[in-house]
Amino acid sequence: MVEPLLRVSNASKTYPGGIQALRGANLIIERGEFVCLIGASGCGKSTLLRMIAGFEHQTEGDVVMRGKPVTGPGPDRGMVFQDYGLFPWLTVRGNIAFGPAERGKKKADVARIAERFIAMMGLERFADVYPHQLSGGMKQRVAIARVLANDAHLALMDEPFGALDAMTRERLQDELLAIWRATELSVVFVTHSLEEAIFLADRVVVMSPGPGRIVAEEPIVLQRPRDVSSPEFNAIRRRLAALLHADHVKEAA
């Protein structure tokens, strides 16, 4: 059998004071797969994402990337945050070039890599401006380009479009799918939006709080591009909403 890109096995996270944020999570991400995590606030989505990124370590279980245990952050896993996480003292070009430069790439190679992803994300006109001069959508393009420039195998996205207006959000969803298809990148994408999850994902993973756990998975077999108004799309939406609501009621009981 071919080893999956990522394997999370019975992973739990307990913080000091005995607060268990995540319990017994099992998740496999295949190469080139787009997976969305959905669930209410406090269900452990971001905790799981940060464990995969290597920013936090599980208290039980295993997180294995390409056959090797995750012991800390690495360039093979790139994180995209809702608040962008850009270096304010660097230009767009400088932000995108930062990772390759830190990894010891030759100056000419760093410049070539930066220009490639500036072009891919449509940032040519903004290459020499600073993050505070950009709109939210443009900042998120830079954040995605920075992950790609670092030659990541897995992009970890924590509600990256949550703070954007509806039109910008829809445009970036389309652009992200185009980049995903062009690069064969694997993506784990956290969102509160059922519609966004169904529109983007190959598979939707449903999480529940108290403590956080994975309660269901739904493969999305709709052809792309997806029509959010189609009966098939909305049938999946109702099914996932029922799963979330049922677990919420169970938790409150």
DSSP string, 4-35: PSEEEEEEEEEETTTEEEEEEEEEEE-TT-EE
Cis peptide before 75 (omega within 30 of 0): no
Pairing of strands 213-219, 186-190: unpaired
Per-residue pLDDT, 252: 38
Residue type for 189, please? F
The predicted-structure confidence for 63-109, as pLDDT tens digits, reads as follows: 999 999 999 998 899 999 877 789 999 999 999 999 999 988 999 99
As to burial, measured by CB atoms within 10 angstroms (0-12 exposed, 13-18 middle, 19+ buried), residue 113 is buried
Domains of the chain: 1-76+157-253 (3.40.50.300), 82-151 (no CATH)
Per-residue pLDDT, 34: 97
Token pair listed for 53:
């990124």
Where residue 1 falls among pLDDT bands split at 50, 70, 90? low
Angle separating helix axes 107-120 and 136-149, nearest 10 degrees: 140
The CA distance from 92 to 145, in Å, is: 10
The predicted-structure confidence for 186-206, as pLDDT tens digits, reads as follows: 999 999 999 999 999 999 999
Backbone φ, ψ for residue 211 (5° rounding): -80, 170
